[in-house]
Amino acid sequence: MLRTCSVCGGIHHEDNMCKRTYKKNSYASKFRNSNAWITKREQIKKRDKYLCQMCLKENIYTYNNLQVHHIVSIEKDNDKKLDSYNLITLCSYHHKQAEMNKISAEELKNLIDIPPGG
């Protein structure tokens, strides 16, 4: 059965919910459930053509299990939480790699394609 995930806001099978946990009343948790983030997340996926940008770099078209990653984390710079230049669409594999700093912030920033006027 599919359910909405209380952690990421995505839809998962009941037995495959996100493993990440956030303090229920933490700022990050509240932000991830905000309309502003849900709207921005969708805008970024659309900007990135609903493809993982790291996979696309290797000419691989990955459009499943997409997540929007904050290049500079909310904890490090709250002012960039909705900045298009700080957000990129990644598959779950590359998102984990980015979270573990196995993909540099510079490399991710170089992949962002901001359309004119965006």
Tell me what pLDDT residue 29 has. Answer: 76
In three-state form (DSSP H/G/I as H, E/B as E, the rest C), the secondary structure along 12-43 is EEHHHCCCCCCCCCCHHHHHHCCHHHHHHHHH
Secondary structure letter of residue 107 according to DSSP = H
Alpha helices in the chain (DSSP H): 27-32, 35-47, 53-57, 92-99, 105-111
- pLDDT, one tens digit per residue, over 40-97 is 999 999 999 999 999 999 999 999 999 999 999 988 999 999 999 999 999 999 999 9
Single pTM value for the model: 0.74
